[in-house]
Amino acid sequence: MIAIIDYGSGNINAIKNIYRKNNIACKFATKAQDLVGATKIILPGVGAFDSAMSNLNRSGMREALDSAVLEDKLPVLGVCVGMHIMTLNSEEGELAGLGWINAEVKLLDVERIAQKPKIPHMGWNSIETPTEHPLFNGIDKELGFYFLHSYYVHCQRQHDIMATAQYGKQFHCAFNRENIFGVQFHPEKSHSNGIDLFNNFSEL
């Protein structure tokens, strides 16, 4: 059973619909008890870092999530701002992140973006993966994924970088450390690549 964290941030319905169409069991988790029986967790997110973080802190799920991810080692996938809040901190806000991964969130380097507009990075972009990982099985990397963001995650450990994309400069668009996964793009809105990624995550 995949638990999709419903803390008032992120496109939870689109993710649920993809799993439902593929007959993969999932449910929304709005309180700590809902995490009981979960085998995997998806942490979506849109909007600002601080508002996502304070919504999560208010949800009453923070402790249960920490223990599921850090102690029980359940595979967890953060999407967009859901990925951002897994890190230590963000240039976008004041609040501390969950601190699950040694990374920080930075504003895209507008100085190096030649085209106009510079921010947000919006649209379909290709990705590159330095190493192969089952999460990206069958993914058309040239077609890539749909991005919509102004801030990105910068991993401090080279080993955690799972995928990169080019926008002004190369940035980290997916990370993985043990059971912890994060993607900057929106697989729930990336057609067949997104469906494949969610299916791959369910099979990890």
Partner 1 sequence: MLRSRVIPCLLVQNKGLVKTVKFKSAKYLGDPINAVKIFNEKQVDELMIFDIDASVSGVAPNYQMISHWANESRMPLCYGGGVKSAEQALKIIKLGVEKVALSSEVINDPNILVDIGAAVGKQSIVVVLDVKKSMFGRYELYTLNGKKKSNKKIVQLISEIEKIGVGEIVINCIDNDGTMKGYDLNLVRLVRDCSNVPLTVLGGAGSHDDLLQLIAEFKIIGAAAGSLFVFKGVYKAVLISYIPQAVRALIQTISKL
| Amino acid identity, position 152 | Y
Restricted to residues 93-122, the positions that interact with partner 1 (CB under 8 A) are 114-122
Q: Report the half-sphere exposure of 10 (CA within 13 A, side-chain side).
A: 32
- Least Å from the CB of residue 177 to partner 1: 27
- Least Å from the CB of residue 130 to partner 1: 17
Segment near partner 1 (CB under 8 A); pick from 32-40, 83-91, 140-148, 155-163 = 140-148
Tokens representing 75 are 């595979």
- Residues contacting 85, CB < 8 A, separation 6+: 43, 45, 49, 52, 53, 56, 78, 97, 98
Residue closer to partner 1 by CB (options 9, 176) is 9
Token pair 């290709």 is found at 126
Report d(CA 188, CA 185) in Å as an integer: 9
- Least Å from the CB of residue 10 to partner 1: 9
Binding site for partner 1 (CB under 8 A): 8, 11-14, 17-18, 46-48, 114-126, 146-150, 166-167, 186, 188-189, 191-192, 194-195
Active site residues: 80, 186, 188
